[in-house]
Structure 1
């Protein structure tokens, strides 16, 4: 477990066939939690929530590519938590089965999102805010937890990389704008949880990312 701040529980681990990073964010006082991008292995995620003594109240998605949602339906069924997505990715959510078929991944039906995420929306538990950072997809979101200096960037920003823009709805101009104008303006000491692979820091990417430097 990685406790990045005394008022925040954070644990990140890869799940599913494409090893998407799933993150649990929990409030140690209320024991309420959000789960970001449950891309598979729902039983493992549920086990970790139980071991941490947390109850998930919302399941939020950085975007609607198949590898970030594969356990969402099972998680909702097991917990009753609400599903959240930016409306810009509704067309991708509506075609989840097609995405799975194209990538040869078994499809598990997922219900429609319960609520659409909005830019600058406060997240459940009151510990973070949603940021609309389009480019990888039209509805790509990042989640910023200022007290913990923690950013969950999904597939928008990677360690020395950025999200691909050659899939459905991708736009390089938009992802460059999102990174420069939204992510690179955050605290340079902030830890960045990426959609795949290792964490990084905002300042390191500003200085060393070969695709988009600050």
Structure 2
């Protein structure tokens, strides 16, 4: 006797905000519950996409606490009641979001404190993925792995033929190289990688062709 395979997750990624951070909606097609990753601006557009997709946000999760990945988080929480999640090692950055905005000339919209701290290997809301602690770009940088769909949301840790910069607050090159080699490059080579900015890539392509960290 055979059973039907579980339907693929709903995934939509689009650039938002003044620095064009990639925001991703991940939705469970059965329960219609959703996660929003890195709402870096344009909260009304994100809410519109969720409505069109028929999804209800239960969790707003952040790959890290640089300003361009949080700018719509407060408005999203206010509109949806969803909880905010971040790794605790980035608390110092979250506590200084207003300063970050001033430095980059971006208007600051107050954001409440995170409701919960993300942990390494923590199961995400909806039970569809897991959080991976991948420090280097920031001390608390996280990636989010959805094994059934072979999908990785890497934030600013790994880009198409690039890696996250390590010259900002708390950045560390040795740590980001270790995170990529020991955590990300050990995932399925066919997995699609959603980057923090710019186009998607694949794990195997980066292992072979990334000029900064080869597999």
Task: Provide the C-alpha distance between the structure 1 equivalents of 2:151 and 2:109, rounded to a whole number of angstroms.
Answer: 31
Task: Provide the C-alpha distance between the structure 2 equivalents of 1:28 and 1:133, rounded to a whole number of angstroms.
Answer: 28
Deviations 1:164-211 (A, max 9, x none): 000000000000000000000000000000000000000000000000
State the number of aligned residues: 212
Q: Report the TM-score when normalising by structure 1.
A: 0.98
Query: 5+ unaligned residues in a row in structure 1: which ranges?
Result: none
Give the match for residue 116 of structure 1: 117
1:28-177 alignment to 2 at 5 Å? 28-177=29-178
Deviation at 1:28, TM superposition (A): 0.7
Task: Provide the C-alpha distance between the structure 1 equivalents of 2:8 and 2:27, rounded to a whole number of angstroms.
Answer: 9
Contact in 2 for aligned 1:3/1:9 (Cα 8 Å): no
SS state at 2:35 partner = strand
Contact in 2 for aligned 1:84/1:113 (Cα 8 Å): yes
Deviation at 1:7, TM superposition (A): 2.9
Q: Report the TM-score when normalising by structure 2.
A: 0.97
Query: 5+ unaligned residues in a row in structure 2: which ranges?
Result: none
Deviation at 1:13, TM superposition (A): 0.2
Deviation at 1:108, TM superposition (A): 0.1
Over the aligned positions, Cα root-mean-square deviation in angstroms equals 1.9
Task: Provide the C-alpha distance between the structure 2 equivalents of 1:146 and 1:209, rounded to a whole number of angstroms.
Answer: 22
Task: Provide the C-alpha distance between the structure 2 equivalents of 1:113 and 1:167, rounded to a whole number of angstroms.
Answer: 22
Task: Provide the C-alpha distance between the structure 2 equivalents of 1:129 and 1:148, rounded to a whole number of angstroms.
Answer: 12
- Where do 4+ consecutive residues of structure 1 move more than 3 Å? none
Bigger drift between 6-15 and 190-199 goes to 6-15
Deviations 1:21-78 (A, max 9, x none): 0000000100000000000000000000000000000000000000000000000000
